[in-house]
């Protein structure tokens, strides 16, 4: 057998890593829709998680987060790694999430939907936010507590009361939009946050914003924005560090 010579090339695009729950069926597709082809490299790892989203299952997931980060390709040179669980970050804590990810892979930055949401709220100027989520109260309330500890008022929340992740991924986006309308109608709020990376929200945000006249953000949207901004990704020839819409 003859060995044919070859050349090696260096990575030309920013590197993004994403740690996704085993049961999440939504975020990978949505994140790729937010990230146009040819703007960044995206590598995905999965972290073991329970079929039901409860404080106990989330605590167990934290024990495997470093292992999941270590399964990202070690030679990929990541600019940013995102942990794709909003409620998980609220219960585990953003600082601990960062430490667990850093222990498993080398990256320039670590983020998550909760941290990304807080950055987006500040950028857009939101102080009173209504939250729509699929969570049961034991999972929803820690999220509210984190927002309030950071100076964000959460006067009201609506939830579908769903524990089973397979059902969360199949909640009709029209039902999510109806919940957003109901929450906006009964409270004075500056904006809405649709919380959970497993909710299908990509296609409903622009129309909801136009209808309600307030910013409507989602876990997947803000995580995509924050990862893009931290990595210095350029979309349409413009750096995205200061823009959360594109």
The pLDDT tens digits for 219-233 are 999 999 999 999 988
Domains and CATH numbers, the chain: 15-112+222-239 (3.40.50.12500), 115-218 (3.40.50.1860)
Average pLDDT, the chain: 92
| pLDDT attached to residue 235 | 62
Name every residue whose Cβ is closer than 8 Å to that of residue 238 and which is 6 or more positions away in sequence: none
| pLDDT attached to residue 56 | 84
Distance in angstroms (rounded) separating the CA atoms of residues 225 and 219? 10
| pLDDT attached to residue 59 | 78
Q: Is the pLDDT score of 239 beyond 50?
A: no
pTM of the model: 0.93
| pLDDT attached to residue 190 | 95
Distance in angstroms (rounded) separating the CA atoms of residues 171 and 149? 30
pLDDT band for position 236 (50/70/90)? low
Q: Is the pLDDT score of 11 beyond 70?
A: yes
Least confident range from 20-29, 37-46, 197-206: namely 37-46
| pLDDT attached to residue 130 | 98
């Amino acid at each position: 057998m003859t060995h044919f010579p070859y050349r090696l090339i260096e990575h030309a695009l920013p590197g993004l890593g994403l740690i996704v729950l085993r049961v999440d069926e939504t975020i990978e597709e949505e994140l790729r829709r937010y990230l146009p082809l040819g703007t960044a490299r995206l590598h995905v790892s999965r972290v073991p998680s329970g079929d039901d989203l409860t404080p106990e299952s989330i605590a167990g997931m934290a024990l495997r987060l470093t292992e999941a980060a270590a399964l990202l390709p070690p030679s990929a040179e990541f600019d940013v790694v995102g942990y794709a669980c909003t409620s998980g970050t609220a219960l585990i804590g953003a600082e601990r999430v960062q430490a667990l990810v850093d222990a498993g892979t080398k990256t320039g930055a670590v983020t998550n939907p909760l941290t990304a949401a807080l950055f987006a709220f500040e950028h857009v100027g939101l102080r009173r936010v209504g939250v729509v989520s699929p969570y049961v109260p034991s999972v929803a309330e820690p999220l509210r507590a984190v927002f309030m500890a950071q100076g964000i008022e959460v006067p009201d929340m609506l939830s579908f009361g769903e524990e089973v992740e397979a059902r969360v991924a199949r909640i009709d986006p029209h039902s999510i939009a109806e919940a957003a309308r109901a929450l906006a109608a009964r409270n004075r709020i500056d904006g809405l946050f649709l919380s959970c990376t497993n909710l299908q929200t990509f296609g409903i945000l622009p129309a909801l914003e136009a209808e309600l006249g307030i910013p409507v953000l989602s876990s997947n949207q803000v995580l995509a924005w924050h990862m893009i901004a931290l990595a210095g990704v350029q979309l349409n020839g413009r750096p995205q560090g200061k823009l959360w819409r594109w």
